Every structure is written in structure tokens, then in C-alpha cells.
Amino acid sequence: AQSVTQPDIHITVSEGASLELRCNYSYGATPYLFWYVQSPGQGLQLLLKYFSGDTLVQGIKGFEAEFKRSQSSFNLRKPSVHWSDAAEYFCAVVGLVGAGNKLTFGGGTRVLVKP
Amino acid sequence: KAGVTQTPRYLIKTRGQQVTLSCSPISGHRSVSWYQQTPGQGLQFLFEYFSETQRNKGNFPGRFSGRQFSNSRSEMNVSTLELGDSALYLCASSKNQETQYFGPGTRLLVL
């Protein structure tokens, strides 16, 4: 069964500093990988996705993520954090064939931004 | 293009009642999935509908059910509500087996 692990429950970062959120997945084949962001009381907004090809993918709001097959990781990065980036971030995976559209999510990482 | 819409946004029910939540997908999207989000269990997949047929089902009791209409709109129903059903219920739509776009959610409180 596929699974996703986000080792960090909370991360505090200063405004202007860089941010990296870790994500490890378990899946038998090449998965489709996603990062979503959720602000308090809101739904999930898609930041970026990886299906195939270039392992460094760019997303919205200045975020990027790198797929590393050897490490089963899909870490999210942002070079300079803004106060508006304070939110909860979820990594997710969906299987390619036969799994329909079932997203499996990690537990999430809550990001706090210090002024 | 309008995003995924969910109604109602907030709901308060008492134990034993039933509830119906509605989701309108993005135009042209035929797949609708439902997720439950709670502080303790995180985001959990409930079920997915595609072309009016349930294609996938998560590990939830039979009290949780859903359906999809010919216009791709979907409803989920929870019968005999329990306190533990209090959660944010998220609906997502997609065009095919790829990216899912989420609605704002319906927050259900069971008293």
C-alpha cells in the first residue's frame, strides 16, 4: 500500500529565510506526487505536481520541489519565505494504474513564520 | 473557470441525525472524490465517483455513502451521525487520473 511520511510536524522559520519541507513516500512504481497548502479554515490549494520528466518542478508562489527516486523523497523548498506562507503543507501521492484518484496524504507540516 | 464549490460551508447536527453534503466540480471534470479531515486522523479518502459510478472506496463504515449525478455533481451522506464524524469534509474534482482540485470544504460539527 502506498504511504507518505512528513517527518516534521511543525517548522518555524524567519521571514526572508529559506524553507525546506520533507516528504518521503512508499509506492511500488513511479508515483504521481503533489504538494498542497492549506490556510486555516480553507480547502487545499495545489502548489505543484510531479508526474515524470525533469525531477525539479516549479510551482506557484515561488515554491519548487525535487523528486529523488533513490531516496523516495519529494521535498518542497522556497528560497525566501513571506509571512503569507504561514500555513499547513501536505505532500500526497496517487498511484498510476488501477488506483483511480485516491490521494494518500502525509500528516502535514505546519509552518510558522516569525517576523 | 469556476472552482469546486461545496455547500453548505458549515453545519451543526446532533448525534443520530443524518446529513447530506453537496459538491459541484469544475466544469468538464468527471471525477469527484471526497475526503475527511480531522486533527487526529488527518486527511482520509472516503470515496471517488466517476461517470456516476463509485470507482474507489476508502475504509469507512457503511454510514458514509455518496452518489454522483449525470452533470457530475456529487453528494455524500452520513447517516446516524456520531460525535467522531465532526470534521472538515473536502471534495475534489479532476479531469482524469491526475490532478485533483479541492473545494473549500464543509465543516460539520456533531453535538
A30–B contact, CB cutoff 8 A: no
Chain A residues within an 8 Å CB radius of B51 = none
- Cβ distance of A36 and B31 shorter than 8 Å: no
CA–CA separation, B7 vs B103, rounded Å?
Answer: 10
What pLDDT is stored for residue A42 in this prediction?
A: 87
A interface test, pick of B102, B106, B108, B109 with most A CB neighbours within 10 Å:
B102
Q: A17: which residues sit within 8 A by CB, 6+ positions away?
A: A80, A81
Q: Which of A35-49, A93-107, B68-82 has the lowest mean pLDDT?
A: A93-107
Q: Mean pLDDT score of chain B, rounded to an integer? A: 95
B-contacting residues in A 33-72 (Cβ below 8 Å): 34, 36, 41-46, 49, 51
Distance from CA of B109 to the nearest CA of A (A): 14
pLDDT in tens, A19-75: 999 999 988 777 889 999 999 888 999 999 998 888 999 999 999 999 999 999 999
Distance from CA of B22 to the nearest CA of A (A): 15
B31–A contact, CB cutoff 8 A: yes
A interface test, pick of B6, B43, B68 with most A CB neighbours within 10 Å:
B43
More confident site: A53 or A84: A84
CA–CA separation, B83 vs A8, rounded Å?
Answer: 29
A110–B contact, CB cutoff 8 A: no
What pLDDT is stored for residue A29 in this prediction?
A: 74
Q: Which amino acid makes up residue A34?
A: F
Quick one: cell of B39? 486533527
DSSP secondary structure, A84-109, as one string: GG-EEEEEEEE-SSSSTT-EEE---E
